[in-house]
């Protein structure tokens, strides 16, 4: 990769962000297709100030991660239909100074989950009430799943359930309900807090499909425990790759090298990257 005066800048904004593999993934993809761009990670506390920097520095594309997926919307010029419906943004494109927000989290999650199981007609519970949970929830409903929301903060969980038009299960009552698919849409278990689980092992059933949107580590404690009792598991890498491919194609206008992106991420997570 050669950096010169014509190199386009891309970035991820989040807090924390040191764990992010987006720079490795996108920079490898840029290099593979010959796109003159570089992608960096920025720890951002004040999202409004960061968006002002996007305008001032003419940053061409931004990935948005926790905790800014909802709050960033107030600082954008336009929203695509999905992002507006979901009420959260994970991708921004700068089109000659006009900042437009998109959301590819739901698409990425549905594509990853569909590789392992069908969604239509299944009883599904999602843990979380943030931007990712909201996007995935809309995707589940659009594909015919019977969704229930649970969250440690009851007020936030009930608000999301109301917005989605689905049921809410108090966190303390998860063990009393039967679900076919469980999705963790919280950062619990993410590096460096890898010993944490969003629910107890005894709340898992061996007949469940268990998905964790956390991709670092590759196998979270939740997925390890779920595998141990016989569950089908879906790690966060596929969702991460698919939403990243959407971003890449939006920003560059070129077909994303999905295989290359997946390999470099898996190599980084398994320690095989030089």
Active site residues: 69
Pairwise CA distance, residues 158 & 143, whole Å: 22
Residue with tokens 């320690």: 271
Helices 105-114, 131-142: inter-axial angle, 10-degree rounding:
60
Residue 13 · residue 53 · CB < 8 Å? no
Pairwise CA distance, residues 179 & 60, whole Å: 42
Q: C-alpha distances in angstroms, 5 versus 34, 38, 145? A: 16, 12, 49
Residue 22 · residue 12 · CB < 8 Å? yes
Handedness of CA 43, 47, 50, 55 (dihedral sign): positive
Residue 94 · residue 122 · CB < 8 Å? no
Kind of pairing between the strands at 78-79 and 98-102: parallel
Pairwise CA distance, residues 45 & 55, whole Å: 17
Residue 5 · residue 241 · CB < 8 Å? no
Long-range CB pairs of 260-264 (<8 Å, 24+ gap) are 260/28, 260/29, 260/32, 261/25, 261/26, 261/28, 261/29, 262/237, 262/238, 264/24, 264/25, 264/28
Residue 107 · residue 86 · CB < 8 Å? no
């Amino acid at each position: 990769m050669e950096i010169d005066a014509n190199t386009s800048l891309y970035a991820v904004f989040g807090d924390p962000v040191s764990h992010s593999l987006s720079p490795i993934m996108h920079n490898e993809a840029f290099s593979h297709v010959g796109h003159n761009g570089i992608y960096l990670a920025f720890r951002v506390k004040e999202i409004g100030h960061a968006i002002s920097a996007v305008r001032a520095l003419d940053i061409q594309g931004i990935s948005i991660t926790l905790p800014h997926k909802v709050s960033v919307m107030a600082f954008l010029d336009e929203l695509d239909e999905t992002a507006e419906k979901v009420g959260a943004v994970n991708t921004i494109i700068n089109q000659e100074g006009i900042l437009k927000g998109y959301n590819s989290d739901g698409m990425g999650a549905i594509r990853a989950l569909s590789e392992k199981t069908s969604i239509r007609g299944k009883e599904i519970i999602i843990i979380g009430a943030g931007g990712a949970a909201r996007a995935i929830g809309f995707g589940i409903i659009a594909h015919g799943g019977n969704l229930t929301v649970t969250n440690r903060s009851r007020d936030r969980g009930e608000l999301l359930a109301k917005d989605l038009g689905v049921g809410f299960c108090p966190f303390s009552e998860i063990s009393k309900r039967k679900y076919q698919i469980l999705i963790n849409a919280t950062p619990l278990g993410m590096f460096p807090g890898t010993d944490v689980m969003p629910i107890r092992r005894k709340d898992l059933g061996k007949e469940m499909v268990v998905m964790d949107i956390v991709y670092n580590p590759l196998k979270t404690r939740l997925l390890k425990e779920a595998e141990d009792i016989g569950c089908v598991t879906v790690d966060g890498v596929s969702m991460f790759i698919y939403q990243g491919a959407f971003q890449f194609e939006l920003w560059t206008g070129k077909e994303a090298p999905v295989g290359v992106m997946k390999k470099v991420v898996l190599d980084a997570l398994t320690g095989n990257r030089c």
